[in-house]
Amino acid sequence: DTAVSQTPKYLVTQMGNDKSIKCEQNLGHDTMYWYKQDSKKFLKIMFSYNNKELIINETVPNRFSPKSPDKAHLNLHINSLELGDSAVYFCASSTRPGDEQFFGPGTRLTVL
């Protein structure tokens, strides 16, 4: 059983398109996160939701919009994709904010 899953695993798209990445966790956690790992390998937090409420928004362009339909899901929608959005995006979850985070396998986004 996969604890934190993401779809798709790979995403190749053209500049200007809109795309979504889905994340689901079956751990019963209250808190979910989105991270971006850029070409320099830095993992940076983008968003965090606790009980479906946004608690962290780390200066991410408003082309990125997270949506949490329920505590088990946190999706990431990206409008008007740019070349600089190419990265690996990781979803994570934790029992509550500040606890150890469990990561999904990542989604490699390539914008051409």
Partner 1 sequence: DQQVKQNSPSLSVQEGRISILNCDYTNSMFDYFLWYKKYPAEGPTFLISISSIKDKNEDGRFTVFLNKSAKHLSLHIVPSQPGDSAVYFCAASPDRGSTLGRLYFGRGTQLTVWP
Work out which of 22, 45, 73, 77 binds partner 1, going by CB under 8 A.
Answer: 45
Which range, of 13-21, 35-43, 60-68, 69-77, touches partner 1 by CB under 8 A? 35-43
For 52, 70, 84, 86, 112, the CA distances from 39, given in Å and listed in that order, are 30, 31, 10, 8, 15
For partner 1, the closer CB: 9 or 18 = 9
Distance (Å, whole) CA 70 – CA 79: 22
44 scored as a contact of partner 1 (CB under 8 A): yes
- Tell me, what amino acid is at 68? S
Burial class (CB in 10 A: 0-12, 13-18, 19+), 92: buried
Give least dist CB 64 to partner 1, A.
17
Q: Does 93 bind partner 1 (CB under 8 A)?
A: no
By CB under 8 A, name the one of 48, 74, 78, 111 that touches partner 1: 48
CA dist 34 and 32 (Å) reads: 7
Binding site for partner 1 (CB under 8 A): 4, 31, 33, 40-45, 48, 50, 55-56, 58, 90, 92, 94, 96-106
